[in-house]
């Protein structure tokens, strides 16, 4: 063996490189989406409007979206931190999540500008449905990693269930909001009941996880 020969690339090195690249991509997409959410704020001033009337709704939408995407990023970071490795399926689910996150600046512009000719109700519905898709993708990624792919074996089952149910609850909450804007009251009632059941189950699993650690 030559003295200056590079060491062989072992399997765990390959997994770590894949993992690092995916985390860097995710952080980059979230950062760009959060930045463009501000860039896309282009309110049209009408005669007689005050500064608050011009900028109030766009800024509210921006800060709300920044907070929501920040929570999604935090939840995604939590998932990544628990993984021993990453596989192709989780990579594809993560890419789906990131593609939806990257669309949020366009969704915000559609909601606040009215340039597409859509009324406010339709814009809010699109906004809510986009967040449904994002949070379900987040839940799907953690559900696969923890229960199907075996990528997070160190997380206790109650804790894993608590996180999955929490992510699902947020998705169902936005689904209920979308039903409200669509004026589908019967569907709203059904989704709301599902959200309450999931939230209760999440709380129980969280208590079980804390009891197991005590």
DSSP 117-164: S--HHHHHHHHHHHHHHHHHHHHHHHHIIIIIS---TTS-HHHHHHHH
Residue 86, CB-side half-sphere exposure with 13 Å CA sphere: 24
Q: Give the HSE-up count for residue 14: Cα atoms under 13 Å, Cβ half-sphere.
A: 6
Average predicted confidence (pLDDT) for the chain: 86
pTM for the whole structure: 0.85
d(CA 65, CA 158) in angstroms, rounded, equals: 30
Distance CA 64, CA 160 (A): 27
1 has a pLDDT exceeding 60: no
| pLDDT, tens digit, 9 for 90 and up, residues 110-139 | 777 655 556 678 888 999 999 999 999 999
């Amino acid at each position: 063996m030559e003295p200056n020969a590079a060491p062989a690339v072992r399997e765990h090195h390959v997994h770590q490189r894949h993992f690092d690249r995916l985390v860097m991509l995710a952080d980059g997409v979230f950062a760009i989406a959060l930045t463009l959410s501000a860039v896309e704020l282009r309110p049209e001033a009408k005669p007689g409007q005050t500064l608050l009337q011009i900028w109030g709704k766009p800024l509210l939408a921006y800060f709300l979206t920044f907070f929501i995407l920040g929570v999604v990023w935090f939840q995604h970071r939590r998932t990544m931190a628990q993984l021993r490795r990453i596989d192709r399926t989780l990579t594809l689910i993560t890419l789906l999540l990131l593609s939806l996150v990257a669309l949020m600046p366009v969704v915000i512009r559609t909601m606040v500008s009215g340039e597409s000719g859509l009324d406010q109700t339709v814009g809010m519905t699109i906004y809510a449905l986009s967040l449904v898709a994002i949070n379900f993708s987040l839940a799907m990624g953690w559900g696969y990693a923890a229960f199907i792919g075996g990528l997070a074996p160190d997380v206790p089952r109650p804790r894993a269930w608590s996180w999955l149910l929490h992510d699902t609850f947020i998705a169902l909450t936005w689904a209920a909001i979308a039903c409200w804007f669509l004026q589908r009251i019967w569907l709203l009632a059904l989704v709301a009941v599902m959200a309450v059941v999931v939230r209760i189950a999440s709380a129980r699993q969280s208590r079980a996880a804390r009891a197991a650690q005590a």
